[in-house]
Structure 1
Amino acid sequence: MTAPAPVREKPDEVVRPPDRDPARRIGAGLIDPRQLWLALPAALRKLNPVTLARNPVMFVTEIGAALTTGLAIAHPSGFGWLITAWLWLTVVFANLAEAVAESRGRAQADTLRGMRRQTVARRLGGWEPGAPAGSYVEESVGAGELRRGDVVVVEAGELVPGDGDVIEGVASIDESAITGESAPVIRESGGDRSAVTGGTRVLSDRIVVRVTQDPGESFLDRMISLVEGADRQKTPNELALNLLLVMMTFVFLVAVLTLQPMAIFSKDFMSAAHDTEALTANGVTGIVLVSLLVCLIPTTIGGLLSAIGIAGMDRLVQRNVLAMSGRAVEAAGDVNTLLLDKTGTITHGNRRASELLTVGSVTDRKLADAALLSSLADETPEGRSIVEYVHERFGMPQVAPKDAEWVPFSAMTRMSGVDLPGGTSRPESGGCRRLRKGAATAVAGWVEDNGGTVPVALDACVEQVSASGGTPLAVAECQGEGPARLLGVIHLKDVVKPGLRERFAELRRMGIRTVMVTGDNPVTAKAIADEAGVDDFLAEATPEDKLALIKKEQAGGHLVAMTGDGTNDAPALAQADVGVAMNTGTSAAKEAGNMVDLDSDPTKIIDIVEIGKQLLITRGALTAFSIANDIAKYFAILPAMFGGVYPAVDAANIMRLHSPTSAILSAVIFNAVIIVALIPLALRGVRYRPSSADSLLTRNLWIYGMGGLLLPFLAIKFIDVAVVQFIPGI
């Protein structure tokens, strides 16, 4: 006799920790200061000019720092050495932002690589489904020796040695080592959550896994390659912004180079002094010109730009999404049409019991008892759902009677059930009891073959279930030598995953149109679409229809995101601007998409879109801040350079800085320190809430544009006071 499945949570009902709550908004926050210290060696290594050349703004800053170093050596002065030190710190701080962003991923990759080396697999040779213990051979091998098709057993406390599918058993899995997700998830055979990832830990029970990847092809390998890729490709928006920064740097470079000839022409005091001591004392050497250049070019965004992109992809990994490129993350921020496959995406994928319809004078508990007993040995997802439904609604125990003879389902009979011999049935049975469950026509035929009569009400029940897009399963019993009778119908339906209506409403507020794509008939498709709350649906869709719909939307100027899990979704996933494949889906789907959702949760697209929008908003906000804070530097350095010759220019010294040298040094110090101050914001991102593009733009211009305009005035004045206090004579 096959033991019934134990009571367990539904596989899709995973409790979200507070930081993964759907109502949560992606926001900014602080980082551990120790991360800055630990990333410092990597930041120093990035001072290599060959490495820094990828960032033109900081490359120019490094050249300026090298030039002031030479000038400080040739013409020593305290002012010159202070400026030189802070220019080098500016470059180091910019490198530090990128190093911290990369270190998060590298730390995770090192942990994963260590787990892969240490994991031992228990490979089963000769294992077959239902094979008794002793009929197969178990051997211990390294995880790296596993090949596609190998079968391994994993028990509570052990690590899953490789990517694969659960083919026997059910277990709670801890995926936090891979994804950072603290809540355990359920993985089981036969359902839409059978896929497991190498490096995750089994918390309970025992599962048998068939490996689906060869060495070097696993999620672990792809993730390590992703986070450690030194040649991270820049996205189109990032390239465009880089070009803008290069042009601004070139313009300011030309402007600064013209200051010395202009000063000579206007007989400025820069040319009035002919000896080195006078030039140094007045702070008007090449050091000052380099200081002016570094303060005018957009060093703030230049130092943080790379970190923003890396952090955006890292935020996706933290939410159990593997992005194959930064381009996909950016595209997600501009998505305005979302296509969702119905089966396994909007619905659970496996039909679930949702209702019991009795026939004649049969009571609900009578039908529930028969449905439960006939499904205890049914290990299909549908059979399990019947057991769970009856247990939840009626509280009936999931205990199999002794000496029960189980009747397995077969394509010939289209039925399954159980025979309860005399003396072993439940007390209310009154003797030998046979129960059958299956297709309505098959069960009706069994009732007639056993002397019973099929009630007319059966047709009405079957028609009612079918019209709603569900699948009817009839249940019948035969008591002792008496005639068989039909008890009722179990309504199996594609159950919409909980919380979808609310999240689709959230997508609507973000300006995203949702379209459900399904192969079902229009009646069933409309019922599911209305229940889920999508904006539109495409029924009886073929792979060609999905592809045509995406191309039509793209031709209309829309960016399209597509989620799916089947092989028939692969062409559409490849065509979409953002293709999100479910991790529990087929290999073809995962290879076609440019993102993989490890949770196989279609509503995760909301997180993906939010992160994409947050990435674009963060980049734009910090660019506005960087350009705006240059204004305060103009009011600090230009009066310091020309106020002595042109008294009218001194009126621009609205901060009333102490002296020309303290003004220049204060501006340079602020230019370096602000990069470090903004690293947490660059890594965590600007807070995002669903709203229109106009309101987002207005909000960020007020906060970061005006903030970038006003904050530097206060900061530079504060630094000037501190400099004068601690460096007398500056």
Structure 2
Amino acid sequence: MTKHRILTTRETFSNINSYIELIFAIGSGIFIVAGWLLSKADLQLASIVSFLLAYGIGGYFKAKEGLSDTLLHKQLNVELLMVLAAIGSAIIGYWTEGALLIFIFALSGALETYTMDKSRKELSSLMRLQPEEAWLLENNKEYRVSVADLVVGNHILVKPGERIPADGIIKKGSTSIDESAITGESIPVSKEVGQEIFAGTVNGQGSIIVEITKPNSETLFQKIITLVQNAQSEKSPSQQFIERFEGTYVKIVLSVVALMMVLPHYLLDWSWNEAFYRAMVLLVVASPCAVVASIMPATLSAISNGARNGMLFKGGVHLETLGNIRAIAFDKTGTLTIGHPEVTNYVVVEEHSPADVLQIVASIEHHSNHPLAEAIGKFAASQMVDLLTPDSIEDVSGWGIQAIIQGQTWKIGKKDFMNKEKIDQFRRQYVTKHADSGKTIVYIQKEADIIGFIALKDCIRTEAKAAIDELQQLGIQPIMLTGDSQTTAAAIANEVGMTTFVAECLPEQKVTELKKIQATYGVTAMVGDGINDAPALASANVGIAMGQGTDVALETADIVLMKNELAKISEAVQLSKRMNRIIKQNLFFSIGVLFILVLSNFFQAIDLPFGVIGHEGSTILVILNGLRLLKQHQKKMA
């Protein structure tokens, strides 16, 4: 059975289970009404039978959950408190109140189950995006096969409009791919031969042949699903504290209830019936149901919200910590910048034709694999330059490239590779301002004359400055850590609006610098590409990977932004702040209600029905408040 079928079965069972809980709760309510009407008609036996049915139907799920948890973990829980309170109410003749307690408790339980299912819907939605079959190509024939049977190296046909069944490389054809399931970006991305595509994404209008590069169990899509599953099962520090506290608290409540059954009779001259009644009210109102429900629904809702928007959190602990960061360290290359050089300036002295010189330069650089040569080649291709064939060519490692074309000697490379007698004057006249701005300069020499240069730069991302501004508005100090020179680092920092940076910083030194930042500012995040920055990502309080869905990013960081979009960082921070704020609201409200109800009971100012309504009503309200985090994430949440 495939993972998709397994999850679909579980999801169906979960949905049925939540519906059954709701049906049982409603059934309990019907029997309560019937019991109340029968009691008004003096049909006491029939009334008690109706109330007993309300108890059995309404309390089935919670009683089962509470008893199994108690027996399994040898720990008391709030479900057991509620069952005991309902039984105690019936013992002293408050059948209606006890049944009402069971009814509202069952209703809030059904709502909580629904909330959990709702918050997990992103995972099940993702699973439904995974195709179960694919078109396998063998011997020029198409075969419909199970995706689980595909192996690395197989060639598959993906037709227009179909979901891509596996990770792979396009071998034939071109198309546009809707990658929203992976990156959260709704605009289709153009894909051509040689480019990578991912399972679960949607093919556009073109028909493509794809070579599979990963088995089904190791696709990016499956790793995302595993990541979200783990995130939903990992509990935040707040949730862990509440769960540790719950068992001790329940023991305290039961002890106080036992004392209240006895002491008020002797100390306050209460009747035995009144003392027992007040003990049962205390058992109801002192239960920490609302406190327990304050955190998990909110956390799961926030994780699901992030997954829908291309922000994958590896657990509630990282999501909770993110909202408390005071500084954020950025790698430069591939994070603040695009990650590869681009031509920004092309200058040729007046007596030469820029088009002719570019043709020769491109023809020479075409024979080099250097990243700068590739950038120059792309620039020349954008100018529709036709390439020539050099008579001879020599790649001088670390310096540049030399060639003979049409009988003339050309040099392309660093300044120290050029004519020493003329390079300084040429630099002063044409180049200085570009070098000062952090650009890399490639010089062009024809025979003994330097006739031009090409300036290249790893350009900043278009949204970088706005993203940094947003983080600063949130009170977070951005700091750049880069291995580039002081000049280049200063230029990039100035462009993006940073005032603090550390230049000439090797990967191992980034960890040392990060610890200095933590000592100065406190909780610190690190943003990198998940490869060279792995040590720093691991050392930060929160590691954030910008990887456009790369495997390394998924395995390294605590939070993965599936699309290289810096604006998602501030969105993630604001989502975390909003979650933390809602959790605090829930805890303050639930503890406040609990305190008021307990105090009111000691002063005999509240009866069992109002205690039931106040207690269970607060539980329902905190669950609904947490459910608000499922709403579409807005940029300005703070």
Task: Identify the TM-score tier after normalising by the shorter chain.
Answer: 0.7 to 0.9
The verdict on how the C-alpha distance between 1:228 and 1:539 changes in structure 2, with shifts beyond 3 A counting, is: closer
For the Cα contact (< 8 Å) 1:342–1:517, is it kept in 2?
A: yes
Tell me the alpha carbon deviations over residues 620-659 of structure 1, each in whole angstroms, 9 at most, x when there is no partner: 22111111223442465444x3xxxxxxxxxxx5xxxxxx
Pairing 1:1-150 to 2, within 5 Å after superposition = 39-41=18-20, 48-49=65-66, 60-71=77-88, 79-90=94-105, 92-94=107-109, 96-97=111-112, 99-105=114-120, 107-122=121-136, 141-148=145-152
Map of 1:159 onto structure 2? 163
**TM-score, normalised with respect to structure 2:** 0.73
Quote the offset at 1:63 in angstroms.
Answer: 1.9
Matched position secondary structure for 2:217: coil
Tell me the alpha carbon deviations over residues 423-446 of structure 1, each in whole angstroms, 9 at most, x when there is no partner: xxxxxxxxxxxxxxxx99758965
For the Cα contact (< 8 Å) 2:547–2:561, is it kept in 1?
A: yes
Pairing 1:442-461 to 2, within 5 Å after superposition = 446=405, 449=408, 459=427, 460-461=429-430
Map of 2:10 onto structure 1? none
1:186 maps to which of 164, 185, 189: 189
Map of 2:548 onto structure 1? 584
Q: Distance in 2 between matches of 1:336 and 1:476?
A: 50
Give the structure with the higher percent helix.
2
Map of 1:469 onto structure 2? 438
For the Cα contact (< 8 Å) 2:352–2:451, is it kept in 1?
A: yes
For the Cα contact (< 8 Å) 1:123–1:140, is it kept in 2?
A: no
Tell me the alpha carbon deviations over residues 681-711 of structure 1, each in whole angstroms, 9 at most, x when there is no partner: 21234999999xxxx9xxxxxxxxxxxxxxx
Matched position secondary structure for 1:584: coil
The verdict on how the C-alpha distance between 1:572 and 1:117 changes in structure 2, with shifts beyond 3 A counting, is: same
Map of 1:275 onto structure 2? none
Matched position secondary structure for 1:360: coil
Map of 2:491 onto structure 1? 527
Structure 1 gap segments, 5+ residues each: 1-34, 126-133, 272-278, 391-399, 416-438, 478-482, 642-652, 654-659, 697-730
Pairing 1:381-400 to 2, within 5 Å after superposition = 382=375, 386=379
Amino acid at match of 2:134: V
> May I ask how many residue pairs the two structures share in their alignment?
570
Map of 1:202 onto structure 2? 203
Pairing 1:368-517 to 2, within 5 Å after superposition = 382=375, 386=379, 406-407=387-388, 412=393, 446=405, 449=408, 459=427, 460-461=429-430, 464-472=433-441, 489-517=453-481
Is 2:349 the partner of 1:359? yes
The verdict on how the C-alpha distance between 1:377 and 1:442 changes in structure 2, with shifts beyond 3 A counting, is: closer
Map of 1:549 onto structure 2? 513
The verdict on how the C-alpha distance between 1:359 and 1:223 changes in structure 2, with shifts beyond 3 A counting, is: same
The verdict on how the C-alpha distance between 1:53 and 1:520 changes in structure 2, with shifts beyond 3 A counting, is: farther
1:324 maps to which of 314, 329, 332: 314
Amino acid at match of 1:161: P
For the Cα contact (< 8 Å) 1:39–1:100, is it kept in 2?
A: no
Map of 1:683 onto structure 2? 627
Q: Distance in 1 between matches of 2:281 and 2:77?
A: 12
Matched position secondary structure for 1:515: strand
Map of 1:7 onto structure 2? none
For the Cα contact (< 8 Å) 1:358–1:364, is it kept in 2?
A: yes
Structure 2 gap segments, 5+ residues each: 1-13, 25-60, 412-418
Q: Distance in 2 between matches of 1:252 and 1:616?
A: 28
The verdict on how the C-alpha distance between 1:168 and 1:563 changes in structure 2, with shifts beyond 3 A counting, is: farther
2:340 maps to which of 315, 332, 350: 350
Quote the offset at 1:371 in angstroms.
Answer: 10
Tell me the alpha carbon deviations over residues 454-495 of structure 1, each in whole angstroms, 9 at most, x when there is no partner: 998865545554443324467899xxxxx9x99854433211
Amino acid at match of 1:257: A
Q: Distance in 2 between matches of 1:217 and 1:568?
A: 22
For the Cα contact (< 8 Å) 2:85–2:283, is it kept in 1?
A: no
Matched position secondary structure for 2:293: helix
For the Cα contact (< 8 Å) 1:584–1:600, is it kept in 2?
A: yes
Tell me the alpha carbon deviations over residues 285-319 of structure 1, each in whole angstroms, 9 at most, x when there is no partner: 74652332321343222123221222232222122
Quote the offset at 1:535 in angstroms.
Answer: 3.6
For the Cα contact (< 8 Å) 2:89–2:97, is it kept in 1?
A: no
Matched position secondary structure for 2:200: coil
For the Cα contact (< 8 Å) 1:340–1:564, is it kept in 2?
A: yes
The verdict on how the C-alpha distance between 1:410 and 1:588 changes in structure 2, with shifts beyond 3 A counting, is: farther
Q: Distance in 2 between matches of 1:311 and 1:487?
A: 62
Q: Distance in 2 between matches of 1:602 and 1:169?
A: 32
2:280 maps to which of 280, 285, 290: 290
Quote the offset at 1:577 in angstroms.
Answer: 2.4
Quote the offset at 1:320 in angstroms.
Answer: 0.7
For the Cα contact (< 8 Å) 1:443–1:475, is it kept in 2?
A: no
Map of 2:32 onto structure 1? none
Amino acid at match of 1:163: D
For the Cα contact (< 8 Å) 1:447–1:476, is it kept in 2?
A: no
For the Cα contact (< 8 Å) 1:342–1:516, is it kept in 2?
A: yes
The verdict on how the C-alpha distance between 1:54 and 1:240 changes in structure 2, with shifts beyond 3 A counting, is: farther
Map of 1:664 onto structure 2? 608
Is 2:587 the partner of 1:623? yes
For the Cα contact (< 8 Å) 1:331–1:577, is it kept in 2?
A: yes
**% identical aligned pairs:** 22
The verdict on how the C-alpha distance between 1:190 and 1:121 changes in structure 2, with shifts beyond 3 A counting, is: closer
The verdict on how the C-alpha distance between 1:369 and 1:207 changes in structure 2, with shifts beyond 3 A counting, is: farther
Quote the offset at 1:496 in angstroms.
Answer: 0.7
Map of 2:40 onto structure 1? none
Quote the offset at 1:121 in angstroms.
Answer: 4.9
Matched position secondary structure for 1:216: helix
Map of 2:37 onto structure 1? none
Matched position secondary structure for 2:290: helix
Amino acid at match of 1:84: A
The verdict on how the C-alpha distance between 1:599 and 1:491 changes in structure 2, with shifts beyond 3 A counting, is: same
Q: Distance in 1 between matches of 2:100 and 2:391?
A: 81
Amino acid at match of 1:67: L
Quote the offset at 1:562 in angstroms.
Answer: 1.8
For the Cα contact (< 8 Å) 1:170–1:189, is it kept in 2?
A: yes
Quote the offset at 1:349 in angstroms.
Answer: 1.0
Matched position secondary structure for 1:198: coil
Matched position secondary structure for 2:522: coil
Q: Distance in 1 between matches of 2:192 and 2:553?
A: 20
Quote the offset at 1:104 in angstroms.
Answer: 3.6
Amino acid at match of 1:116: Q
Q: Distance in 1 between matches of 2:136 and 2:445?
A: 44
The verdict on how the C-alpha distance between 1:200 and 1:375 changes in structure 2, with shifts beyond 3 A counting, is: farther
Q: Distance in 2 between matches of 1:556 and 1:531?
A: 25
Map of 1:314 onto structure 2? 304
Q: Distance in 2 between matches of 1:198 and 1:619?
A: 36
Q: Distance in 2 between matches of 1:124 and 1:347?
A: 43
Amino acid at match of 2:375: E
Matched position secondary structure for 2:492: helix
Q: Distance in 2 between matches of 1:568 and 1:410?
A: 40
Amino acid at match of 1:671: H
The verdict on how the C-alpha distance between 1:555 and 1:616 changes in structure 2, with shifts beyond 3 A counting, is: same
For the Cα contact (< 8 Å) 1:123–1:141, is it kept in 2?
A: no
